[in-house]
Amino acid sequence: MSTYKQDDIIDAAVRILLEEDRCITVGFSPDGISLRFPTTRKLAERLGIPHYYVLPRFGEMERDGLIRRAERVGVSTTAAGTERLLAVMAERHGERAKEVLGADIFSALQARAAALSGEEPG
């Protein structure tokens, strides 16, 4: 079970957002675009694994700068995490993303996330 990788978690998150919730919460800030991430419990349920298998992946994703956790607020993507989540969304779930977000919004989010990641200092 511990063989789940970050892309498995991201793919499960995308599927929850697009297929179950059919809603994506987007935040804009000077740091970039953030997307609300599903809870660890929801992800574990989607993957059919115990909750405690997801927690170490979240820790890795946080250390890798893909997500940030805020107490009583939840988990959201960082600018880098948004770019990665949108890439998985486009590669594997493009039609569903366009259905939920609309083609123009989806395209604009991808362009903005890519532009911001290119502007960030290393």
At position 16, the amino acid (one-letter code) is I
% of the chain exceeding 70 in pLDDT = 92
Nearest to 108, CA basis, from 97, 93, 120: 97
- pLDDT tens per residue, range 14-70: 999 999 999 999 998 888 899 999 999 999 999 999 989 999 999 999 999 999 998
β-sheet bridge partners, residue 35: 26
* Residue 35 placed within a domain: yes
Residue 121 in domain:
no
Closest CA to 32 of 63, 91, 76: 76
Is the Cα dihedral 111, 117, 120, 122 positive or negative?
Answer: negative
pLDDT score of 94: 95
Tell me if 31 is assigned to some domain.
yes
Does residue 122 sit within a domain? no
Could you report the per-residue pLDDT of 65-120, keeping only the tens digit for each?
999 998 888 899 999 999 999 999 999 999 999 999 999 999 999 998 888 766 54
The CATH number given to whatever domain includes residue 52 is 1.10.10.10
* pTM for the model: 0.88
Range of the domain at 99: 6-116
Task: Give the number of domains in the chain.
Answer: 1
